[in-house]
Amino acid sequence: MNQKITLILIGFLFEPTLFGQTLELSKSNWLYEPPSSPDNYLIFDSDKVLYSQDFLNCYEGIWEVTNDTIYFNFNIYKGYRGVGNINPSSTMDYPSYSKNIPTINQIEITAKGYINQKNIMEFYLNNNPYPYIFQKVDIAEFNINNLNIVVNGDYIDTSIRIIPLEELKTYSKKELRLMRNEIFARYGYVFSSDDLRTHFNLKKWYKPDSTINPMAESFLSEIEKQNIKTIKSLE
């Protein structure tokens, strides 16, 4: 994980003492600026922690405090995945694409991190001492709910996680067909079959775009490719 992190604590029901400070989490956000620029964020509420650089992409997990250390584990990615052609005006470091897809993925290997009081204090004492480690910040500016990623559909797990074969066996062949094609519908694929076209045209989230059809296979994530392969084996 990038060490350039800004830590924001948000809460509702408790007021923990962290690194010698009692944080009134029920009333305010609390900002921690570490030994670097405030480009990245760790945002905490009573249930979860988000790690985000730009509020467009983040990793979500859980956190806990043990003695003088805050531990956090991330197991879900939320953000926008670029697909299609790269815009000519974008750069190699920050490419932009013709289409951005809302994406939620389970992370197979949990990413872990921690913030240790001793390391923080050593930096502040040796480099840039502040009277307080945490500072209050405006709740409207740093809000854990700013990142609102939604994957639409009746079978959204096909784009979020690899679904085991045994679980897929519980669905009918009709359901499996809809499940597989819904993956393509999320990209705007236009169907040739009348029943699929009718089914997805009734969905408010479905935005048909025939220009997608030739590129649809290249848009698929690795999770979606695996689920499509497994579903086909059962249809």
Confidence check: pLDDT of 141 > 50:
yes
Domain residues for 89?
6-137
- pTM for the full model? 0.71
Kindly state whether residues 129 and 211 are assigned to the same domain. no
Residue 179 lies in a domain: yes
Choice between 166 and 2, residue whose per-residue pLDDT is larger: 166
Residue 145 lies in a domain: no
pLDDT digits (tens, 9 = 90+) for 144-171: 566 677 899 999 999 999 999 999 999 9
Please state the three-class secondary structure of the chain as a single string. CCCCCEEEECCCCCCCEECCEECCCCCCEEEECCCCCCCCEEEECCCCEEEECCCCCEEEEEEEEECCEEEEEEEEEEEEEEEEEECCCCCCCCCCEEEEEEEEEEEEEEEEEEEEHHHHHHHHHHCCCCCCCEEEECCCCCCCCCCCCCCCCCCCHHHHCCCCHHHHCCCCHHHHHHHHHHHHHCCCCCCCCHHHHHHHHCCCCCCCCHHHHHHHHHHCCHHHHHHHHHHHHHC
Choice between 33 and 234, residue whose per-residue pLDDT is larger: 234
Domain count within the chain = 2
Quickly state the pLDDT bin for 120 (edges 50, 70, 90).
low
Kindly state whether residues 128 and 41 are assigned to the same domain. yes
Residue 195 lies in a domain: yes
Q: Residue 202 is part of a domain; what is its CATH number?
A: 1.20.58.1690
